[in-house]
Amino acid sequence: MHIREAKNPFRLGGQTALITGGGTGLGLGMARCLAQAGARVVLVGRREDKLAGAAAAIGPLASFVANDINKLDHAVELVHAAEKAAGAPITVLINNAGTHLKQTALETTPEELQAMLTTHVCAAHALVRAVLPGMLERRQGNILFTTSMASIIGVPLVLAYSAAKSALVGMVRSLAAEVSCSGVRVNAIAPGWIETDMTSQALQGDPARLNKILARTPMGRLGAIEDVGHAAVYLCSPAAKFVTGIILPVDGGASIGF
């Protein structure tokens, strides 16, 4: 067989991905890249106008479902709606939706911490419970989480966010150890500082912080959403068929920088 005839292990034809927070930022970057690799993508978020515009821009492989993932008891209903929109079972779940909170530990209230944990951790768990039975029955599936550099290094003023993202790291490892023997792989991407609206909000009015970030990032710049998107394609593709339970930094070297 000639090399040119070999099947591309990075192609995602036949896969259907549910992506939370898929209408903007990192979720949109992942959705674009997965669709380019041949996957159907279902964008999930609260703002229907954003979702509709993003799905239209991606093309015929994209659909969307407007939903608030904080309504934990609606997770099964959301998955059913996503499968109806795509016309196929969900084979890839990307738990990406999240919020950011920049303030001191003393200013952070118990209610704010709980809200952060609900969005990032509890909602992700609810969706895992909703998609996992089908994946286990088919003995095939991919579950991907978006964590953060804040789960790897100490970042000031983001205690609640860091706690939530760090909890996802434990979830990834435990879930991978539990279900990988049944054909379901579980991984995470830990983005560094990527050019998104959330990053802009976190750095707004704080040029010293931006300079500090760039100084400790060996590549000396912020990343693009497609950098995270291409990493997601790899982790969900046959090319990564022996990869599970990892946290993949996409950070320009920030986690190893000085």
Q: What is the 3-state secondary structure (H, E, C) of the chain?
A: CCHHHCCCCCCCCCCEEEEECCCCHHHHHHHHHHHHCCCEEEEEECCHHHHHHHHHHHCCCEEEEECCCCCHHHHHHHHHHHHHHHCCCCCEEEECCCCCCCECCCCCCHHHHHHHHHHHHHHHHHHHHHHHHHHHHHCCEEEEEECCHHHCCCCCCEHHHHHHHHHHHHHHHHHHHHHHHHCEEEEEEEECCECCHHHHHHHCCCHHHHHHHHHCCCCCCCECHHHHHHHHHHHHCHHHCCCCCCEEEECCCHHHCC
- Cα 97 from chain centroid (whole Å): 7
Sign of CA dihedral 230, 7, 38, 82: negative
Looking at residue 136, its amino acid is: L
Helix 159-179 and helix 110-117: axis angle, to 10°? 30
**Does residue 161 have an active-site annotation?**
yes
Active-site annotation holder among 161, 179, 186, 223: 161
Q: What residues are annotated to the active site? A: 161
